[in-house]
Amino acid sequence: LITGDLRAATVVAVNHCTLLCLSREYFERNIGYAKDLMEKAFLKRLLQGIQTIVDVNFQPFELDRLFGCLKEITLEKGQTFVTKFGMAAIDEEERGIYLLKSGLLNIISAAGQRTQLKASDHLDLIADAASSELEDCVITVEEETACYLLSHASFLNVAGSVDRFVNKAASSKALDSSMKLDDFNRLKILGEGTFGQVWLVKHKKRDS
């Protein structure tokens, strides 16, 4: 169903069996192409796992609307985004969440930290633009990059109010800031984002 390639197998009935067969033609005509369905399901899972989306606590019907707002675009090699967080330096049409389908983005922060994003990664310029604590950075398209864009305007249209995001982001600042990285043992990397890595850690003293 996915590749369209013919497959051969030997099937032996151990005892009496009744088989129900759904033909490929019927499946594609009434349900859709399996490859497209799997890609859509993957995109939905990717979108739902982005912290900005999680923070707003969208309802299922709102997530469906967000997914419907995704627009497939291509970023040309050599294209750059210069972002000044807290100063709204990026153009409104460039602001949004980018889900990378293929290609490569290179990000250099003002502190010189380098991060590369590739297929299945995402670039969140909605959360970044709402924060005044993040550094300026330059994002360069190293090779032609195909991606899905959820625009800032579409995000706000579904959210209904920017307060849903801002209030959630503000409440997250109430976390204990006395703990330092050296207080934890690093166990494994859970994922990589625009400005670094997400680690699963264990507190050295609290054992949690």
The 3-class secondary structure across 140-159, one letter per residue, is: EEEEEEEEEEEEHHHHHHHH
Residue 102: per-residue pLDDT: 94
pLDDT: is 163 or 74 the higher one?
A: 74
pLDDT digits (tens, 9 = 90+) for 33-72: 887 888 888 888 889 889 888 888 888 899 999 999 999 9
User: How would DSSP label each residue in 60-112?
Assistant: HHHHHHHHHT-EEEEEPTT-EEEE-TTTT-S-GGG-EEEEEEEEEEEEEETT-
- The DSSP code for 9 is -
pLDDT: is 16 or 87 the higher one?
A: 16
Average pLDDT score over the chain = 80
pLDDT: is 56 or 206 the higher one?
A: 56
What value does the mean pLDDT take over residues 191-206? Answer: 76
Residue 195: per-residue pLDDT: 59
pLDDT: is 161 or 192 the higher one?
A: 192
pLDDT surpasses 80 at 123: yes
pLDDT digits (tens, 9 = 90+) for 157-179: 998 865 665 555 545 545 566 77
pLDDT surpasses 80 at 92: no
**Residue carrying the six token digits 């899972």:** 45
Q: What is the pTM of this model?
A: 0.64
Greatest alpha-carbon span in the chain: 72
Which has the closest alpha carbon to 165: 88, 195, 135, 157? Answer: 157
What value does the mean pLDDT take over residues 63-83? Answer: 90
Q: For 108-117, 141-150, 190-199, which range has the lowest pLDDT when averaged over its residues?
A: 190-199
- Cα–Cα distance for residue pair 204/208, rounded to 1 Å: 8
Alpha helices in 123-199, H assignment, sequence order: 152-159, 163-171
What value does the mean pLDDT take over residues 9-19? Answer: 90
pLDDT: is 85 or 107 the higher one?
A: 107
pLDDT surpasses 90 at 150: yes
Which has the closest alpha carbon to 36: 6, 72, 63? Answer: 72
Q: For 128-132, 149-153, 173-177, which range has the lowest pLDDT when averaged over its residues?
A: 128-132
From the CB of residue 169, how many other CB atoms can be counted at a distance below 10 Å? 16
pLDDT range class, residue 145, cuts 50, 70, 90: very high
Q: In this structure, are residues 179 and 150 in contact, taking their beta carbons and an 8 Å threshold?
A: no
